[in-house]
Amino acid sequence: MYQQFNVPDQADCNANGIDCQPCVLPGDVSAPSNSGLLALDEDGTACSSDYCLRLTADGGRMLKGQLALTATRPTAPVLSGGDTQPPSVPTGLRATAETAETADSIALSWTASTDNVAVAGYSVHQVTGSGSTLLGSAAATAYDATGLAASTSYTFSVSAYDAAGNTSAASAAVTSSTTAAANTNLALNQPTSASGYTQNYVPANAVDGNSSTYWESTDNAFPQWLQVDLGSAVGVSRIVLDLPPLTAWATRTQTLSVLGSTDGSTFGTVVGSAGYTFDPATGNTVTITFASAQARYLRLSFTGNDGWPAGQVSEYQVYGS
């Protein structure tokens, strides 16, 4: 039958640019002599009449990444009573830890589902405004979403499925962000705001990439603050602050703390208040490092400057974890 039907069908499809899917033959295949094929149950294994069709469906799911590719048959020869009950909805979906985000991947984990027979695996989807896209499948309760863009927010959901093809509803979604690519200044040309400024020393001067321009707060009015909006919540762990590298700027120590927020209204302390010395002899620059924190808004809160009665920053640089 292969030479009689499949070969000419495939040739005709190839000639006309058509994909070919050979049919699945669930019926009597014992007629062709010496075919090497056995009819249903002939090898002594009891099979339900739709077993070959369910195997074909499982193979299609493997090709689509919905089932792990395995030599072990994913469906039992006989479905006792016909399993129609889907697994429970996965719960507790989360980015595993802050260290689970990199510039191009996010590690996910969740709490296992239950099923009346057994959970065969999980499908992981990326959720967008227009729907969702299947990213892949997992046999266990963890998955690494890879090939992502740096400094980008992603939303995910997970569903569980069993060997009979029953699928649960999607889990509650979780949103997490990749970190910035190495040595990318996340604050460059981003929106800024401040408690105030003097003359033309506006907040935007601190993120324009020009160390000769600077922000200066309202004089004699501590505390004062300078804030940058990174555009989305990302993992950050380093801030570099500059003053103009001119020798006319005498060495000075500014006392400040770093606050972070994901929504722009509720801020937490990222780095406590401390004095930072800016010395023109060493470039008038200060680097502040800290444990990785998720933030969209980063605020510098100034409470003192022994060189001038105001907060001063010529370049406010922020780098990812």
Which domains are present in the chain? 91-177 (2.60.40.10), 192-320 (2.60.120.260)
Measured in degrees and rounded to the nearest 5, phi and psi for residue 94 equal -160, 155
Alpha carbon 266 to its chain centroid, in Å, reads 24
Residue 99 binned pLDDT confidence (cut-offs 50, 70, 90):
very low
> For the ranges 41-55, 78-92, 294-308, which has the lowest average pLDDT?
41-55
How far apart CA 49 and CA 65 sit, in angstroms, is 26
Give residue 72's pLDDT band: very low, low, confident or very high (50, 70, 90): low
Q: Is 166:66 a contact under the CB 8 Å cutoff?
A: no
The per-residue pLDDT for 187 is 96
In the chain, the N- to C-terminal Cα span, in Å, equals 62
pLDDT at 179: 74
Q: Is 30 helix (H, G, I), strand (E, B) or coil?
A: coil
User: Do the beta carbons of residue 121 and residue 86 sit within 8 Å?
Assistant: no
pTM over the 0.75 mark: no
| pLDDT at 49 exceeding the cut of 90 | no
Q: What is the pLDDT of residues 203-233, one digit of tens each?
A: 999 999 999 999 999 999 999 999 999 998 8
- The burial of 304, by beta-carbon neighbours within 10 Å (0-12 exposed, 13-18 middle, 19 or more buried), is given as middle
Alpha helix locations (H) across the chain?
7-15, 51-63
Query: Coil, strand, or helix at residue 179?
Result: coil
Average pLDDT, the chain: 86
Q: What is the mean pLDDT of residues 253-261?
A: 98
Is residue 143 over pLDDT 80?
yes
| Banded model confidence at residue 84, pLDDT cuts 50, 70, 90 | confident
pLDDT category of residue 301 using cuts at 50, 70 and 90? very high
Confidence class for position 83, pLDDT limits 50, 70, 90 = confident
Q: What is the mean pLDDT of residues 121-150?
A: 92
